[in-house]
Every structure is written in C-alpha cells, then in structure tokens.
Amino acid sequence: MDAVNSKPSDANMILVMGVTGSGKSFLINQLAGKKVVVESAELESSRSEKISDQVLGTAMCQAIPIEIGRTKVLLIDTPGFDDSKRTDVEILMEISKLLTAQYKLGVSLKGIIYLHRITDNRYQGSSVRTLDIFKEICGERALKNVILASTRWDKVEEHEGAAREPQLREKFWSYMLDHGSKMTRYHGDRESAHAMISQLLGSGNVILDTQRQLVDEGKTLDETSAGAFVNGNISVAIKKSDAEIEILQRQLRESNNVMKQKLEEDKKREEVIARQARRDQVVQDEMNVEMGRRKKRSKRMGIIMPLLPAALSILEMFIGVPLSASDLFSSWILGEEGDGGLFNQFSELFS
C-alpha cells in the first residue's frame, strides 16, 4: 500500500518533535499567530490556575491548523520522550496512532522539525535517548525531510552557542545530516519559523519507517524498529538494576556499619529504578495488546468506512485539536467562504 500517493489531498502535515522544553509549543504558537498551546515555561505557574481554552502542555499529540500563503498545513505538537509522568512506550504509541491515521487517510506528511536547546551544555541523557528513538521512527530514507533546529538563542551569548554547533554537526547530528537532514537556527521569530515550514513544503511527501512497518508490513508496535529499540532499553534497564541490586546485597553482607547506610541508600535507589523498569515493561505489553485490537478494528472498519460520513473520521483523527485552535480548524476545514475547504478533500478519501 502506498497510502501517500493513493489519493490526492490538499492537506499537508508537519510534525514538531524534541525533548520537553525545547520550544515545540512556542514555535507552533508563533506559526498560529496566537497562543493555542501552553508553553513549558508557563506550566508550573499555570497548574494552579484554571485554563479554559488552552491545553496544559503536550500530554498528547495536538493538531494545530495554519496557513502559509495559500497552503494549508496541519502542525502536530508531540509530547517529549523525556516525560516524567509517561513512559516512552506510551508516548511512542500516541505518536504511532497519529502517524498510522495520517498514512491511511492519505494526508501528505511533508516532514519533521526536530528542536534542540542550544543552551544545553552537553548532549546527553534524555536528549540522546529521544534522538535515538526519533531516528528509529523516521528511518534512513525519511531523514531528507527532517530539519534539525537549535532553539533558545536569546538565552546564550552568540559565541557560546556557536561553539556548541560543531558538536551537534560533527557528532550527534552527523548521521542525519549525511542522509539529507538540514541544520538551522530558530531565533524565536515568525519569519524563521515560516522559512522552516516553507522548506519542508517544497519537499516531496515522506513515509516514515514506523508507518511502513505498522501499516504496510502489519507489524505490532514492539516489532517496529522504534518499538524494539524502546523495549530493548527497558530490558537492559531491568537486567542492569537486578545486577546492581545483587552486587549491593553482597556488599551489605560483607560491609561494616560505617558503609552500610550508604549501601542501603544505593540499594533503595536501584530498587526504585528496577520497579519503574518493570512497570514500563507491563505498559509495553498492554500497549502491544491494544495495538493488536486497533489493527483488528481497523480491518473491520475498512469494509464499512465508505458508508460513514467523512466528518466522523476527521473528528477521530484530529481529536487533539486544542479548544483555542477550534476557530482556526473550522475555517481551515470548511473554507473561508463556506465552500467546503478541506472537508471536500477528506470526503474524496472515502468515495
């Protein structure tokens, strides 16, 4: 199945990805011309306040419709894989569900903007893990449709940020750049944001490895490259923690009273890590079962889908549209003058 080319559509989708606090929501607000999603810097102060028309953070994929010139674009604000309250498996499934729907509907995926804070002294920890998962989601062939953008240049001296770019270019991003990805600076202004979107709109449509594997090859999430990578990390974490706990238990038996307190603290810390890893494994197993159910439902829906109103499919696909973007979305779908806009385009998918 070549879903991207099977049905023509004027809809263009672009994903915005990166770790929490890299500026994904800020970029989308700039492109939308108004605040439609809450930015990470505001999260702590806004948790105690009632927010009626904005989404608090990016807990799920959020669809924000914009226009660049006369081109309609659906921006997807994605949750970061470094979320302290959700596992990598849960976030991967959230993103995979959206990518699967987009691919099956024939909506054009133009590419991905991947954001990284230039203020980070080192590229390590959650940033490395997130980038590794991202590369597995994309696959080598899709990297030509990726823009790697450094952010928060207003928070560092020019020479300081410039000194960090070679490490990104020559080490962490080198593989992606060698396979066609583009590197740029995002200075927080609307003009440079538009430039990135325009660059991707000028590219051909792209299909990610995760989409091919889930839709075309019929794999479960854990069988995909990204799923196997995340699952492998969980298995490694469990084995590592179990080994550490075993060593600490032996040291406790052999230690004197002076060392026991520190060893007990180390052991408790490793036990917490081990429990979290096992919880992640349970979530992974549950997600795989859920993806299997969705696949069966999708096959059944394929038989009756032409009989359903296109509006229901649009609603299901874009359920993550923030309330503050609903007016943008309505005019984007229905058209400025009530001429049907993209509603007619989506309707063609089911004719």
* Helix (H) and strand (E) counts in the chain: 14, 6
Distance linking the first and last C-alpha atoms of the chain: 18
pLDDT of 39-64, one tens digit each?
765 444 344 343 333 334 456 788 88
Maximum mean pLDDT: which of 112-126, 181-195, 219-233:
181-195
Please compute, for residue 296, the number of CA atoms within 13 A of its CA located in the half-sphere on the CB side. Answer: 5
Segment among 104-108, 121-125, 215-219, 247-251 with least mean pLDDT: 247-251
- Model confidence at 319: pLDDT above 50: no
Same domain, yes or no, for 124 and 260?
A: no
> Across residues 15-27, what is the average pLDDT?
92
Residue 292 confidence (pLDDT): 62
Kind of pairing, strands 108-117 and 12-18? parallel
Residue 62 confidence (pLDDT): 85
3-state secondary structure 35-74: CCECCHHHHHHHCCCCCCCCECCCCCCEEEEEEECCEEEE
DSSP state letter for 204: P
- Model confidence at 131: pLDDT above 90: yes
Same domain, yes or no, for 65 and 48?
A: yes
Residue 219 confidence (pLDDT): 87
User: Which among 302, 306, 304 is positioned nearest to 347, based on CA atoms?
Assistant: 306
Maximum mean pLDDT: which of 92-96, 137-141, 221-225, 268-272:
137-141
Please say whether the beta carbons of 24 and 61 come within 8 A: no
Residue 289 confidence (pLDDT): 66
Number of domains in the chain: 2
For residues 21 and 23, give the distance between their C-alpha atoms in angstroms, rounded to a whole number: 5
Close Cβ partners of 137 (under 8 Å, ≥ 6 residues apart): 92, 95, 99, 208, 209, 210, 225, 226
For residues 40 and 50, give the distance between their C-alpha atoms in angstroms, rounded to a whole number: 16
Domain extent, residue 232, equals 221-303
Same domain, yes or no, for 13 and 134?
A: yes
For residues 173 and 154, give the distance between their C-alpha atoms in angstroms, rounded to a whole number: 22
CATH for 67: 3.40.50.300
Beta strands in the chain (DSSP E): 12-18, 62-68, 71-77, 108-117, 146-151, 182-185
Q: Which amino acid is at 298?
A: S
Same domain, yes or no, for 54 and 203?
A: yes
Same domain, yes or no, for 33 and 95?
A: yes
Largest CA distance in the chain: 81
Same domain, yes or no, for 202 and 236?
A: no
Same domain, yes or no, for 261 and 188?
A: no
User: Which among 89, 108, 320 is positioned nearest to 226, based on CA atoms?
Assistant: 89
Same domain, yes or no, for 41 and 10?
A: yes
Please say whether the beta carbons of 119 and 152 come within 8 A: yes
Same domain, yes or no, for 147 and 36?
A: yes
| Alpha carbon 229 to chain centroid, angstroms | 15
- Model confidence at 280: pLDDT above 90: no
Same domain, yes or no, for 127 and 237?
A: no
pLDDT band of residue 164 (cuts 50, 70, 90) is very high
Question: Quick one: tokens of 342?
Answer: 């993209």
Residue 116 confidence (pLDDT): 95
- Model confidence at 274: pLDDT above 80: no
Same domain, yes or no, for 128 and 139?
A: yes
Residue recorded with tokens 């590592």: 240
Same domain, yes or no, for 170 and 269?
A: no
Question: Quick one: tokens of 225?
Answer: 């490259």
Instruction: Please say which residue of 270, 288, 303 terminates a domain.
Output: 303
For residues 305 and 209, give the distance between their C-alpha atoms in angstroms, rounded to a whole number: 26
Q: What is the mean pLDDT of the chain?
A: 75
